[in-house]
Amino acid sequence: MNKDILTFIEVRDGKIQKVSLELLGAARDLADVSGGHVVAGIVGSNLSGLIEDLKTFDIDLIYSVDNSNLKYYLTDAYARAFEKIITTVNPNVILLGATSIGRDLAPRLSARLGTGLTADCTKLEIDVNGSLFMTRPAFGGNLFATIICPEHRPQMSTVRPGVMARIGANKGRLVNVIHLDVAVDKPRVEVLEEVVATQEIANIEEAKILISIGRGIGGDENLKTAQYLAGLIKGTYSCSRSLVDCGKINPDRQVGQTGKTVRPELYLALGISGAVQHLAGMEESDYIIAVNKDRTASIFSVADLGIVGDINQILPLLKEEIEKNAL
Ligand SMILES: Cc1cc2nc3c(=O)[nH]c(=O)nc-3n(C[C@H](O)[C@H](O)[C@H](O)COP(=O)(O)OP(=O)(O)OC[C@H]3O[C@@H](n4cnc5c(N)ncnc54)[C@H](O)[C@@H]3O)c2cc1C
């Protein structure tokens, strides 16, 4: 093992993702303390243009696996190709973005390498011996834990987009490029077409009325009713992170610390517990109504009007009242 810091360069739609440039920035800061090279590892198809782009940044080395079977991200093939880069570089630290690709790839690689992985880091520090201190929110974000990986190498972390400062421009550093050959079988899954979602980004910050949906909403039928009611009262709907994490609502509607901060005239929280990270994004709302079956739920501590009850009973009553007045 050497002292190098290896960064996975994430490519989507033929473009290097911002998070990878941020990780390279973090890698440069770490290498300045521990020594070693800042190494970019890139995997994909037709990479020559992207490699030229990478050379314009303040990095030392680029390793690439360029293969037509790597045109689209597929876990198996990318894991095999990037593992080849890792075993060739033999780095002290590996960084990946905490994106859907990074979150898919990183645990698979850490299992293959038999090492630890700290996910979703917000701060990285290193000592002169190369021990990495990986800080991330813990216990519901109420405190930050600094995690070390003393027994195994390489040390691996994923870092959320937008946390680190991006790498600076190359000021005359010679960047070597090493191409590796990896036998990549024709993927077992064939991607026929990539369709980019062209949805509008919801502007919940501007809404005067928000119906905000939490895990307690229950099934899809209730979810649809809440969304329908939001339209009926000329508002829109937002949600807690639970609904984003389970893929039911898009992230642009998430309220809270890692979502958006809202201040509507009316915030109606349905089945939201009121975790501190959620309250941080909505407690300044003018009037808050909360529906929750648990009378001790924290959402009631900020609510102007609290309704203790089961959503399955309250929602039909709300619907009836709203329809009566709105239709
Ligand atoms: C670093 C970090 C950042 C985070 N950022 C955010 C953020 O930006 N926004 C955010 O929302 N969260 C965020 N979270 C997550 C947060 O800690 C909570 O896990 C999340 O807010 C919980 O969502 P919830 O209230 O919908 O679900 P739960 O906590 O599971 O609560 C569900 C609630 O529904 C009630 N309920 C269940 N069934 C019914 C029923 N039938 N009728 C009535 N009530 C019912 C329950 O009593 C409960 O109170 C973050 C966490 C971390 C660690």
Q: Provide the CATH number for the domain around residue 52.
A: 3.40.50.620
Mutate-to-test residue for ligand 1 from 225, 239, 257, 300, highest number of ligand atoms within 8 A of CB: 257
Could you tell me if 61 and 208 lie in one domain?
Answer: no
**CA atoms within a 13 Å half-sphere pointing along the CA-CB vector of 114:** 3
41 lies in the same domain as 145? yes
225 lines ligand 1 (CB under 6 A): no
CB 65 within 8 A of CB 84: yes
> What separation in Å is there between the alpha carbon of 143 and the centre of ligand 1?
17
One domain for residues 29 and 63: yes
At 259, the pLDDT band (50, 70, 90 cuts) reads confident
CB 256 near ligand 1, within 6 Å: yes
Which of 143, 241, 243 is the pocket-test mutation for ligand 1 (most atoms within 8 Å of CB)? 241
Query: Does one domain contain both 93 and 151?
Result: yes
Q: Are residues 119 and 160 in the same domain?
A: yes
Q: Same structural domain for residues 235 and 86?
A: no
**Per-residue model confidence as pLDDT tens digits over 194-235:** 777 666 667 888 899 999 999 999 999 999 999 999 999 999
219 lines ligand 1 (CB under 6 A): no
Tokens of 325: 């007045």
Report the range of poorest mean pLDDT among 98-107, 156-165, 302-311. 156-165
pLDDT given for residue 197 in this prediction: 67
How many domains in the chain? 2
> Lowest-confidence range among 18-27, 196-205, 298-307?
196-205
The percent of residues in the chain predicted with pLDDT above 70, rounded, is 97
Report yes or no on 293 lying in a domain.
Answer: yes
166 and 246 housed in the same domain: no
The answer to whether position 219 is within a domain reads yes
Cβ of residue 273 lying under 6 Å from some atom of ligand 1: yes
Which pair of tokens denotes residue 226? Answer: 């809440």
Residue 162 has pLDDT above 80, yes or no: no
Confidence band for 284, pLDDT divided at 50, 70 and 90: confident
Q: Same domain for 25 and 152? A: yes
Structural domain harbouring 233: 204-326
Q: Are residues 212 and 143 in the same domain?
A: no
Atom 36 of ligand 1 has which residue's CA nearest to it? 216
For residue 282, pLDDT beyond 80: yes
Q: Per the domain annotation, does 133 fall within a domain?
A: yes
Chain centroid to Cα 247, Å, comes to 13
* Residue 263: pLDDT band with limits 50, 70, 90: confident
Structure tokens, 131: 């021990």
Instruction: Specify if 194 maps to a domain.
Output: no
pTM: 0.63
Q: What is the mean pLDDT of the chain?
A: 93
Please indicate whether residue 160 or residue 166 has the higher confidence score (pLDDT): 166
| Average pLDDT estimate for 310-319 | 97
Q: 81 and 43: one domain?
A: yes
Q: Which atom of ligand 1 is nearest to the CA of 120?
A: 1
Round to whole Å and give the CA distance between 52 and 217: 50
